[in-house]
Amino acid sequence: MGIYVPRHFAAPDRASVARLVHDYPFATLVTPHAAEVLVTHLPLIHVADREPHGTLFGHFARANPHAAVDRSSDSVAIFHGPHAYVTPSWYSDPDRAVPTWNYAVVHMHGPLEIARDPAETRAVLDLMVHRFEASRTKPWQLRLEPGFLASMVGAIVGFRIKVKRVDAKWKLSQNRSPDDRRRVAEGLDDEGYAEAAATAAWMRGLTEADAGN
């Protein structure tokens, strides 16, 4: 389940990979299993630890077939960063180019380990709540009535993935001239929607990183 990454589209460093996974935590988790491939869309939290590439944490609804997989099942979590259509009209020579799509994506591979103890699932839930509430002015607290909280935790199953391999692709016009990259970023800014502006910002960040090397 690898991805095709030409050398000029490789992610610049581990910090940029960690940033994408942090900023775009809603992932697609894919696990080959029995006669079919299981696919679940869900938020995942990446924790930098002693594993080769950190550990991912998340949870399934207990009724989700994904929650019943074997501990040894290898999975890939796909994180989609910013992406946008690129028109040839933005290039300096639009008659010698074709349309394309700019994007950044990270694949994290590792064995899926389902929590067997409710305390493990509760720990994952606490991690999730802290990640998405801590920056708010008035963070919501997990202070539910004990019986209700127990029923809510019982309806989900936590899991972790010790990441063994990372594939990352930054297709952000690196194969074009500096002038074309500038024109594409400006064109994306003028598109008027957030995803295009975010793609332009990541393009500029990549250019600034190259300039600093």
Per residue in 138-175, pLDDT tens? Answer: 999 888 888 888 888 889 999 999 999 999 999 999 99
Q: How far is CA 58 from CA 16, 31, 156, in A?
A: 22, 14, 10
Residue range 7-176, CATH number: 2.30.110.10
Q: Are 158 and 57 in contact (CB under 8 A)?
A: yes
Q: Are 166 and 5 in contact (CB under 8 A)?
A: no
Per-residue confidence (pLDDT) for residue 16, from 0 to 100? 94
Please write the tens of the pLDDT for every residue from 93-145. Answer: 999 999 999 999 999 999 999 998 999 999 999 999 999 999 999 999 888 88
- For residue 208, pLDDT over 90 is answered with no
Please write the tens of the pLDDT for every residue from 49-85. Answer: 878 899 999 999 999 999 998 776 789 999 999 999 9
| Token digits of residue 175 | 């194969």
Amino acid in position 108: M
**Rounded to a whole number, what is the distance in angstroms from the first to the last CA of the chain?**
32
Using the Cα atoms of residue 106, residue 109, residue 112 and residue 113 in order, give the sign of their dihedral.
negative
**Model pTM score:** 0.92
